[in-house]
Amino acid sequence: MHIDDGKLLEVRLYDKLSELFQEIYMENELRNTYGWHASGVDHLIVINDMLIPIQTKYRASRRHENAGINNFLKSVKYISEKMNKEIWFGLWVSRIAPFTDNQDLMKTHKIECVNHYDGIDNLVDLTVKFIQSNI
């Protein structure tokens, strides 16, 4: 069975994060618990009363960027309200940095961007380092 690069990024990032954090959820767990409104978040780290939502994109283009970011922001807000927890910070993890206006929009919601074009493992490592340096 072939796993596409986007799914591979999700799995490798989850594996690394689950070594570091006790309470971490994947999209399907969030969707099963909170419904389809939670489906815009790929990973959710819970540390006490704080949340770190993560969305991953491994596309070589910015195709459907606006829709993906808006869906992510809506899901982050929905999950935060349902869990009654605050967002510590969130991450948009992708090969290509989002357009500047989208980066600015995400920053107003405490979402930072981690980007690296060459290699899934490098992107995973940069993401883990970013999280570790900000908690």
Give the predicted TM-score (pTM) of the model. Answer: 0.93
**Computed over its alpha carbons, how large is the radius of gyration of the chain?**
14
pLDDT tens digit string along 5-33?
A: 889 999 999 999 999 999 999 999 999 99
Count CB neighbours of 30 within 10 A. Answer: 24
- Assign residue 24 the CATH number of its domain: 3.40.91.50
Give residue 46's domain range. Answer: 5-133
Mean pLDDT of the chain: 94
Domain count, the chain: 1
Residue-wise pLDDT for 97-114, tens only, equals 999 999 999 999 999 999
